[in-house]
């Protein structure tokens, strides 16, 4: 049995949970899945035992606990992937870290107006100018990564990296909310949607029965 356990939320809704789950699945790091449906008395009780301020994802490596998606991704890369979570070239790695950090700290309009919801497919969805600004920035980041560093494969830096894990839930949102995208961004969304582990996550999310009202638009 693996010493790693990933504690995460509802697959339908929990975008932060998807990120470390995807990197570990992509690189075949073996781990036990512990799903905790969020915003229930049971989840509050279970998560109150951990250091993560009531939030998921949390990674347990034996007794060692690390929380927050980006910190978990870094830990997995260092501890289990020999650094393969980031591009090997120094400058590509610096940019991959920059776009991942920007994803982690920004795009509030997209995140709040378009909550991840694997079950939903919207037509004619309208969003604010703030969300459009986020979308434009994300598309320009994707374009820059793909054109400057993406030669070696379909991912932002060629090989699949932490940056792809960070942006995968944004790609699912763009798809689900029917956002019209420039060619490179649209192609990247398709690459994410075709990822076999993304397809598995979406299917498992669709089979969940819990409804989180705040994430239903
Ligand atoms: N910055 C954190 C955000 C974690 C987060 O907000 N997780 C959400 C689920 S996607 C959560 O646990 N929400 C439960 C709550 O706020 O009570 C990360 O990157 O992991």
196-207 and 183-194 are packed helices; what angle lies between their axes, rounded to 10 degrees? 70
Dihedral angle of Cα 144, 85, 28, 175, to the nearest 10 degrees: -30
As a whole number of angstroms, the distance between CA 145 and CA 65 comes to 32
Contact predicate 197/22, CB 8 Å: yes
Q: Which residues line ligand 1 at a C-beta cut-off of 6 Å?
A: 9, 14-17, 38, 54-57, 68-70
Determine whether domain 90-200 maps to CATH 1.20.1050.10. Answer: yes
What pLDDT is attached to residue 2?
Answer: 76
- Taking the centre of ligand 1 as the mean of its atom positions, its distance from the CA of residue 58, in whole angstroms, is 10
Displacement of CA 170 from its chain's centroid (Å) = 7
- Taking the centre of ligand 1 as the mean of its atom positions, its distance from the CA of residue 214, in whole angstroms, is 14
User: Domain limits of the chain?
Assistant: 4-84, 90-200
pTM for this predicted structure: 0.98
As a whole number of angstroms, the distance between CA 40 and CA 201 comes to 22
Contact predicate 117/176, CB 8 Å: yes
What are the 10-residue block averages of pLDDT along the chain, 217 residues in total? 92 98 98 98 97 97 98 98 98 98 98 98 96 98 98 97 99 98 98 98 98 96
What pLDDT is attached to residue 180?
Answer: 97
Which ligand 1 atom sits nearest the alpha carbon of residue 68?
20
Probe target for ligand 1 pocket from 12, 13, 55, with the most ligand atoms within 8 Å of CB:
55
Q: Which CATH superfamily is domain 4-84 in?
A: Glutaredoxin (3.40.30.10)
Q: What is the DSSP string of 133-174?
A: HHHHHHHHHHHHHHHHHGGGSSBTBBB--HHHHHHHHHHHHH
As a whole number of angstroms, the distance between CA 60 and CA 4 comes to 6
> Which residue's alpha carbon is nearest to atom 18 within ligand 1?
68
Probe target for ligand 1 pocket from 12, 16, 170, with the most ligand atoms within 8 Å of CB:
16
Residue 214 — φ and ψ, nearest 5°? -65, -25
Positive or negative CA dihedral for 50, 82, 194, 114? Answer: positive
Contact predicate 7/186, CB 8 Å: no
What pLDDT is attached to residue 1?
Answer: 63
As a whole number of angstroms, the distance between CA 90 and CA 112 comes to 34
> Which residue's alpha carbon is nearest to atom 12 within ligand 1?
55
Q: What single-letter DSSP state applies at residue 119?
A: T
Which ligand 1 atom sits nearest the alpha carbon of residue 57?
20
């Amino acid at each position: 049995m693996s010493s790693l356990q990933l504690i995460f939320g509802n697959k339908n809704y929990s975008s932060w949970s998807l990120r470390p789950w995807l990197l570990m699945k992509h690189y075949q790091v073996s781990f036990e899945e512990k799903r905790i449906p969020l915003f229930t008395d049971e989840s509050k009780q279970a998560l109150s035992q951990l250091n993560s301020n009531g939030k998921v994802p949390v990674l347990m490596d034996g007794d060692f606990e690390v929380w927050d998606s980006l910190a978990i991704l870094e830990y997995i890369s260092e501890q289990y992937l020999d650094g393969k979570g980031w591009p090997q070239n120094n400058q590509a790695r610096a940019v991959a870290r920059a776009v991942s950090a920007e994803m982690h700290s920004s795009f509030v309009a997209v995140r709040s107006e378009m909550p991840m919801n694997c079950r939903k497919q919207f037509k004619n969805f309208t969003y604010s100018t703030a969300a459009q600004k986020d979308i434009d920035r994300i598309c320009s980041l994707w374009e820059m990564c793909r054109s400057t560093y993406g030669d070696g494969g379909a991912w932002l830096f060629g090989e699949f990296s932490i940056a792809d894990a960070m942006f995968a839930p944004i790609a699912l949102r763009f798809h689900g909310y029917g956002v019209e995208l420039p060619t490179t961004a649209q192609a990247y969304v398709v690459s994410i949607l075709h990822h076999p582990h993304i397809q598995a996550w979406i299917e498992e999310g669709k089979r969940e029965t819990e409804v989180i009202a705040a994430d239903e638009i």
